[in-house]
Amino acid sequence: MLKRGYALAAACLAAAVAVTAFTPNAPSAFVSNPNARNALFGGSAPSTHELSMSTVAEPDTSASTSSTPTALEDYVKGRGGNLPIKKVLIANNGMAATKSILSMRQWAYMELGDERAIQFVAMATAEDLKANAEFVRLADTFVEVPAGKNLNNYANVDVITKVAKEQGVDAVWPGWGHASENPKLPNTLKEMGIKFIGPPGPVMSVLGDKIAANILAQTAGVSSIPWSGSYGGPDDGPLQAELTEEGTIPDDTFEQATCRNVEEAVEAAKKIGYENGIMIKASEGGGGKGIRFVDNEEDLKNAYVQVSNEVVGSPIFLMQLCKNARHIEVQIVGDEHGNAVALNGRDCSTQRRFQKIFEEGPPVIVPPETFRQMERAAQRLTQSIGYVGAGTVEYLFNADTGNYFFLELNPRLQVEHPVTEGITGTNLPSTQLQVAMGIPLYNIPAVRKLYGKADVYGTDPIDFLEEEYAPIGSHVIAARITAENPDEGFKPTSGSIERIKFQSTSDVWGYFSVGANGGIHEFADSQFGHLFAKGPTREAARKALVLALKEIEVRGEIRTTVEYLVQLLETKEFKENTIDTSWLDGLIKEKSVYVEKPEHDVVLGAAILKAYEHIKEETAAVVESFEKGQVSTAGIPGITSFNLEIAYKDTKYPFHVELTAPDVYRFTINGNSIDVPVTVTAEGGLVAVFGGETHRIDGRDEPLGLRLSLDGVTILMPTIFDPSELRTDVTGKVVRYLQDSGADVEEGTPYVEVEAMKMIMPIKATESGKITHAMSPGTVISAGDLLASLELKDPSKVKKILNFDGALDVSAAEIETDGKTAVANILAGYNGDAEAAAQAAFADVSDLESASSTVIEALNEYLRVETIFDGKLKDDVVRQLAKDNTASLETVIDINRAHQAGDVRNKLVLALLRQVETFSDRFGEGALPEDVLAVLEQLSALEGREYGEITIAAGEIIRQAKVPAFEIRVADLRKQLLDPETDFVALSKSKTLSAGVDLLVDLFSDEDAKVRAAAAEIYVRRVYRAHRIIDLNVADVDGIIACNWSFRFADVPEDQSVVRNGILSVVPEGTALDSALPKILDDFGGKLGDADAASDNPVNVVHLALVGASDDVAGNEKAITAEERKLNMLGVRTVNTIIPVAKKDPSYYAFPQCDGYKEDPLRRNMRPTFHHLLELGRLDQNFVLERLPAVGRNVQVYIGSEKSSKPMRTGPPQVLFVRGISVSPGLVSMAGAERALVQGLDELERAQANSKVNTQASSRIFLHSLPELEGTAEEVADKFSSVMDTLKSRLADRLLKLRVDEIEVKVRIESTDDSGNPIITPVRLVASSMEGEWLKTAAFIEKPDPVTGVTREFCVL
């Protein structure tokens, strides 16, 4: 026997919250002393309590005197009692034992100030100990009793009395069920001198037996329903009883009312009639056990056997079903002094298979006067036979007629008694205890308070038959929490319980018979919890109970009815209180109340749970291999990328699962993907976001399949078994097969009876065929065991399992992940879009310092992993990592996962390096910070072949980064311009001048006239390098530079080409444009002949460098438009302004003639010839263009909406254009082409993140290569086709993702015309999907218009 200690006073108040589900500040669960401040549903209990560890001890005979006996003895004596009870044996388990200890311990503290005034001894079986039963923890001591059925322990009178004697207890509390109604127990205890807390044996014999109680009621003239005892009395009327000297009914009268075998039951049923249905009852049954409903003789024969097996040895009787009846109870308590009090009652009409589901009080369906009659009848009945203790008189009440009939009297406390406590304020277990101590009912303070006595500690008598108790001003509804499966006809389930989550409130409290890491064993009652909701009205209590049930969470192997109860409470019938005892069974039969979740939500929820379990199991397996010294890492990829299959409703769903972050699962099925963030709660459950909602997920694999809990709703997803196999879904034992082995069985008919949770239940065949038994009667079975096999009657009718071939009906919401997090996830080895992550990481970066920090952090993380492996054997690395991380081997998995994801990590690093290349363009600073260069040096030092591209790219950036400061570069360029050996024409075409074009503008105002002139000349030659300059002249008058030149399009034959003229004039600082412009135009006109100026199509250009000016676009536009007439006369096509900015690129503005010389925002900050070279005029004709930011110096990005005269409901289609100029001669080489295309894709990636771009916009890339190429057009076209075939393969993922449907490359081939004059042949190389084939290549020779330069003819190569 183990002995358990408790803390002192505060612990008893915390008894109500001692159950796992309770919280420290929850209200007291049970009623208290009438004068105490915290009563039922009110007050708060201390938040802490202690429980000392137990040790093996001998029976403690001193316990009854160890805790202030004087207080108890004085109380008993003062209240008129005669027996202080100091030590009680709890001859029960589960809910009964838990509730009794909590209530009596609370009473002892509240009334006596000492929660240890009474010591409690519990009986515990091995199953209860294994299940971590709560009552064992609550008791002071416990004695282990034989395991198995209750006949071995709690229903075994010999065991109970033996324990009672050995432990030296003063009294035994029997609870309900088990031996609570066995007269042998009180009779034996009386002989032993031990008090039984309940009625005397003879009274129990009469009233406790349902048969005897009905005979007694008939004898007393109480109306009874037709039953097997309604015949055989005087004139074959109701049986009458004349009690024996012992106060019992004569055996022969008793036997006349019973049905001792099937034959007698059939005869009795014929007399009663099947019209309304018949109940077969075991008189010793209860709690839904030993009772069946039948409406025909065949069912009666089977049901009789089931009832006799369920309550072995009990007499059986038959009773007509009372239709449209309500089950109404009156709570009575009698004392040793002949008093009997009725403590209101309960309505228990919500039943299934005669097992109560909800109980409520007061029974408002019964008119008050009628209910008072029922109370008085119950009091007289119990008083007349000297009833002592708590009991329940049960009636059937017809709300339509107002008639009521005696049903039975239960001579014990019932599980739903807290309903009565809630409405009357009476602590019933403590009332039982005080009655057993000999205290008269009218001296019990709680009873006196109920009857409105001012002095609750007075001793004046109360006439309970005449006086009325105080009006009931509240309503309580109780819900039983059971381990049953509502989807399978409420079959009991057993198994472990990991956790019960329940939050008591001021309106709802509850208690549970199991704690954390406990369980429900196969010999236990299925009920393990009870919730009680209180409100001023029935509706208020109902709503409070609904909310509480929605919040309760039970995790473990069992099934519960919680979600089903919520649906019942929300039905119209329950709300309107129009139910009867057959209501719920009707709902179950019709399956009209059920809890259903969307099918695809269930499938995805199951996939999430399975994926989580897979990751956990695979991780554990790899860790275990490391612990054994193994170095294989082959299992690591399977942790983050794997396939799984979900079967639901005859459909298989094959998923591929990838982790894109530690907490983001990507589920792909039939090419459609859904990303789901998943969080593991502290309790081990999952919280997932999908379909725009947050979902709670839990579950476990069982022998018959997956039991999933989704948002509190339980769904069984069966494993796909062979239909010829008949398996059990319950744990218990086989009672009998209903057909011989080899006989035929029909689908839906019972083929076997099994015993589970003390109940006999049939299991039905799922298919038709010839049965072969797989077990023998008496065999212990577990869920999933094969009970029988079938030779299928019609194999073709068996359902076929089909593969799902569509898209899940679950909306896929985009997960918002910042760029740095996306980069970190990829570097950690999770799958992701490397290019998009690199772009996003710099999306909001506006300064070099922040950009450098971002790239350094990412590259250092890459190096942290790769330097561990670089140049070493993998097995050696893994072995050393395992040795260094013995306490956290998951770290070894993390490092190896990252290293194994080398492809995507390397792709990410290359994308980051391309971002570094743009720093100078983005931030206007040429030199990279030293810490960036340092990490690049580490990258370039990696030795492995897998790092080849990275080391080359890092090395190239390092070389390019060694660019001097702006001032030094300007000085170097100035020195070069002053060098007499410098070839200005060659310099203007040099690749090295690409970034220096804008430096030339800074020299327009140099103090040296020679430098100013050289800068202007080279600027013009560079900007117009795609043209053929005929002559060029630079004049410097009074420090003001004016460069005049004439030129032609280089790709138009000379005999067709129009001569064009241009002027670049530098306007000195401090000179207003409106005052300088007239003279500049006059000078320009003076240099033009009449033919050059007069033209139907303006072809000349004016460039104005405004030194020291601000970006006053409006002012400059006003000055230019004021000269519109003169500009038109001079044939000026475009006026361009250049505004130098210190140490930065200049600002460019264009004022085209076609717009009346107003500024064109599309050309802003674009070098003067870009508009022509990028063919923006052609785009502008077909699209409404909006310019988007671009990073590259020679790149422009536009979003275009197709121009259409027809209105479109969803708006015109969008196209994203990336158009760039290349000064590299290697554009059609493999390396050059890939580099240029990747840069274009980077710009697209960045642009598609813009909110203005819709997700369906297609993308087109145009590159104009300025360097002249040698060779023929055909050779270039062939080379392009070959290069594109390779690039389409290498970059297919990005091209498809970015929806690139056209790539154009314009190249210039150097050749001669028919007269031998040099000419540039423009060739357009195209890869387009417009004709159906993806990026099909083609090539064209262009023939541009001599005046506009726009291609007017394409010749296919």
Which SS3 state, helix, strand or coil, does residue 345 take? strand
Dist. CA 1003–CA 1014, nearest whole Å: 9
| CB 190, CB 436: distance < 8 Å | no
Among the listed residues 365, 332, 366, 361, the one whose alpha carbon sits nearest the alpha carbon of residue 346: 361
Q: Are 1343 and 1350 in contact (CB under 8 A)?
A: no
Scored b (16 or more CB within 10 A) or e, 28-59 reads bbbbbbbebebbbbeebbeeebeeeebeeeeb
| Residue from 450, 396, 442 nearest 423 by CA | 450
The token duo for 874 is: 């993998």
Q: Which positions ≥6 away from 182 have C-beta within 8 Å?
A: 155, 157, 204, 284
Q: Which two structure tokens, joined as six digits, stand for 98?
A: 């838990």
- Closest to 654 measured CA to CA, from 642, 662, 639: 642
Residue of 116, 292, 412, 1028 with catalytic role: 412
User: 10 Å Cβ neighbour count for 1112?
Assistant: 15
Instruction: List CB contacts of 1321: < 8 A, sequence separation 6 or more.
Output: 1051, 1273, 1308, 1309, 1310, 1311, 1341
Distance between CA 1051 and CA 1269 in Å, rounded?
A: 13
Backbone phi, psi, residue 450, to 5°: -60, -35
User: What would you report as the CA-atom Rg of the chain, rounded to the nearest whole angstrom?
Assistant: 47
Contacts of 827 (CB under 8 A, 6+ apart): 858, 861, 862, 865, 898, 905, 908
Say how far apart CA 343 and CA 330 lie, in whole Å.
7
How far, in Å, CA of 1248 to CA of 1252, rounded? 8
Cis omega (within 30 of 0) on the bond before 662? Answer: no
The two beta strands, 119-124 and 141-144, are parallel
Which two structure tokens, joined as six digits, stand for 726? 């008949």
Cα 97 from Cα 279, distance rounded (Å) = 31
Active site annotation includes 412:
yes
Tokens 């340092």 found at: 934
Partnered with residue 1100 across adjacent β-strands are 1132
The separation between the first and the last C-alpha atoms of the chain, rounded to the nearest angstrom, is 101
SS3 452: coil
* Rounded CA separation 540/638 (Å): 53
Q: Are 1042 and 1083 in contact (CB under 8 A)?
A: yes
Contact, 119 vs 139, CB < 8 A? no
* Alpha carbon distances (Å) from 546 to 477, 482, 539, 888: 10, 16, 11, 45
Q: How many Å separate Cα 641 from the centre of its chain?
A: 20
Q: What are phi and psi of 1221, to 5 degrees?
A: -115, 135
Residue 1321 CA from chain centroid, whole number: 63
The alpha carbon dihedral of 297, 298, 301, 302 has a sign of negative
Residues catalogued as catalytic? 412
